[in-house]
Chains A and B, each alone.
Chain A
Amino acid sequence: MITLSSTFRISFRALRVNKMRSALTMLGIVIGVGAVIAMLSVGTGASRKIAEQISSMGSNLIMILSGATTAGGVRMGSGTQPTLTMADVEAIKKECPAVEEAAPVLNGVAQIVHGNQNWSTGVIGTTPGMLIVRDWPLLYGRPFSQQDIKSAAKVCLIGQTVVDNLFGGADPSGKIIRIKKVPFVVAGVLASKGQSPTGQDQDDVIYVPVTTAQKKLFGTIFPGMVRIIMVKAKGAGELSSAEKQITDLLRQRHRIGPKQENDFTVRNLTQMMQTAEQSSRIMTILLGAIASVSLVVGGIGIMNIMLVSVTERTREIGIRMAVGAKTWDIRFQFIIEALTLSLTGGAVGILAGVSGSSILTQLAGWPTIISTYSILLAFGFSGLVGIFFGFYPAYKASFLNPIEALRYE
């Protein structure tokens, strides 16, 4: 039996003789492996980004919108008819066992002024529970308290984008800003969350106590009304039971008969986003599958060249058989040759894939993530391709008739 090192030497020598041919054959595998790695990195990057955005929204999130108005037969959108109240928020918190926390949203857009800077942003009246619902830590300062809510204190928490635009990055805690000309003390700064899954800047926001918003900013003819209630369920498994409990509770509280429509809408945000994440994962698999087709095509290229090589070297095979090469000696020689082609191609392909995905990131701005798993997958797959497509030519070579092979011109 021939040793492995001798087999490798024979294979390297044979590949060196036809440098151009070997390089072109490898190119097929280089492209295949490179494409698999680059495509998987694009897909993984996209789903990681979506996952990050989902977790930035807060986990296990349910949103309740107040109902739609109907004026003269024309139905307006959700939230136009204020049907949700502060009392609903308290009731959801107390009576729905699957709910961890609930917070109201009473929002509007306002002009904010600090010194000689001004900025227009969304102002949200809410309760301290909001920070729990959204999993939103503070960068500086303190959250507002129940006391602030009761006394309708003029304090606010501001997002990073607002800080950047009004203060240029310095810690603004304790400074005074004017919202709609009403002076507010900055109690704290919200940590940066970046874009939401829908592309909005989540940091462009100001939180004020809901009572203050009702009384000082967005005076409403329906006191105690809120537009949206944000709810955090106790766990991912309890999202749908929370949804059901909230619906039942609100129908009861709003005295909606069995055949009447809800005057509110419950949306399970997390579930929506998880669907988006799942579809991006499917996209990753699809991209990888398409790219691996090119790897298979590369493998067919190897098989083609190996068949040519076996024919060209018929006499060599005959000589080896005459001096005592056995079936597997010949087979190993050609399989190792195919494997050398595919693994060298695979190694170069890893480099191509890694640099390809970093070029994609730089030129197209796509988030890409190269996982060790995808490299191992592509490299292992290229090895399998080499063995699979090398086997038939090797098998053919090993069954040549030595007499005919020796006579081959």
Chain B
Amino acid sequence: MSLITATEISRTYHLGDIQLKALDDVSITIEKGEFVSIMGPSGSGKSTFMNVLGCLDKPTGGKYFLEDTDICSLGRDELAGIRNKKIGFVFQGFNLLPRTSAIENVELPMLYDSISSKERIERAREALKSLGLEGRENHHPNQLSGGQQQRVAIARALVNRAPLLLADEPTGNLDTKTSTEIMELFVKLNTESKITILLVTHENDIAAYSRRTIRFLDGRVISDEVKSRQ
């Protein structure tokens, strides 16, 4: 069974009288363990597609199955449950809670999953350690560098053992060296931990880390190529 089965997905926005088709009959299947990059110019619909796959938005047409769950039939709170257990998000702007320590940021998804405070702390500590942030548990985001902040965000995305990681331009705010570090981290997570990664990016260098690249234009998929890794 595929991890993601999206069939003829469309998403239409109504701006007054104008209908804007952000997604137009997009059909994509992604297997478990894939590392996919999604490319396209601004307004091509790639972010809308990520929001749909991330259960933050519902498509206006088509079918979306995550594993065997029919996402389109779920309500607001059920979607929140899916996001909590199945999906980890990494954003361009990190989106960590300010004035909150690294470990508490990582604990956040587990707060909404009724996990005991002892286990929360244990798992958050472990996740931070695996990303090389040992000793930074009590630092606040403004005391951390961009790369460190993004690693805290990745720890938060991984801590609930979600099978799917969605990264929306994760290196957009980072310098080249740090970007490389983060991308190598993604590759490692993909190969070693078998986590499925979907990555939205503008840059070809970044997309080069993935094994499959899907290109969007005007709400449609214009190419979908798999390359062999050297």
Q: Is A13 located at the chain interface by the 8 A CB criterion?
A: yes
Q: Kindly count the residue-residue contacts between A and B in the assembled complex, taking CB atoms under 8 Å apart.
A: 64
Residues of B within 8 A of A85 (CB): none
A320→B111 CA distance, assembly (Å):
10
What's the nearest-Cβ distance from chain A to residue B180, in Å? 26
What's the nearest-Cβ distance from chain B to residue A313, in Å? 9
Contact A324 B84 (CB under 8 A): yes
Residues of B within 8 A of A320 (CB): 108, 112
Residues of B within 8 A of A260 (CB): none
Select the stretch in A1-9, A185-193, A237-245, A347-355 that faces chain B. A1-9
Contact B89 A2 (CB under 8 A): no
Residues of A within 8 A of B54 (CB): 322
Residues of B within 8 A of A316 (CB): 97-98
Contact B89 A1 (CB under 8 A): no
Q: Is B80 located at the chain interface by the 8 A CB criterion?
A: yes
Contact B114 A326 (CB under 8 A): no
A130→B95 CA distance, assembly (Å):
87
Contact B84 A323 (CB under 8 A): yes
Query: Which secondary structure characterizes the binding site on chain A?
Result: helix
Query: In chain B between 76 and 112, which residues have their CB closer than 8 angstroms to a CB of chain A?
Result: 76-77, 80-81, 83-85, 89, 91, 95-100, 108-109, 111-112
Contact A327 B91 (CB under 8 A): no
Q: Is B44 located at the chain interface by the 8 A CB criterion?
A: no
Q: Taking CB as reference atom, which chain B residue is nearest A321?
A: B80
Q: Is B46 located at the chain interface by the 8 A CB criterion?
A: no
Contact for B85 among A318, A324, A325, A403, CB less than 8 A: A324
| Pairs of residues from A and B, 5 with the lowest C-beta to C-beta distance, nearest first | A324-B84, A323-B109, A324-B112, A326-B77, A326-B80
Binding site for A on B (CB under 8 A): 51, 54, 56-57, 76-77, 80-81, 83-85, 89, 91, 95-100, 108-109, 111-114, 117, 156, 160
Binding site for B on A (CB under 8 A): 1-3, 5-6, 13, 17, 315-316, 318-327, 329, 402-403, 406
Interchain residue pairs with CB less than 8 A apart (9): A13-B99, A316-B98, A320-B108, A321-B80, A322-B83, A324-B85, A324-B112, A326-B81, A327-B77
12 additional A-B pairs beyond A2-B112, A325-B80, beta carbons within 8 Å, are A1-B112, A5-B117, A6-B117, A321-B80, A321-B83, A322-B83, A322-B89, A322-B95, A324-B84, A324-B113, A406-B91, A406-B95
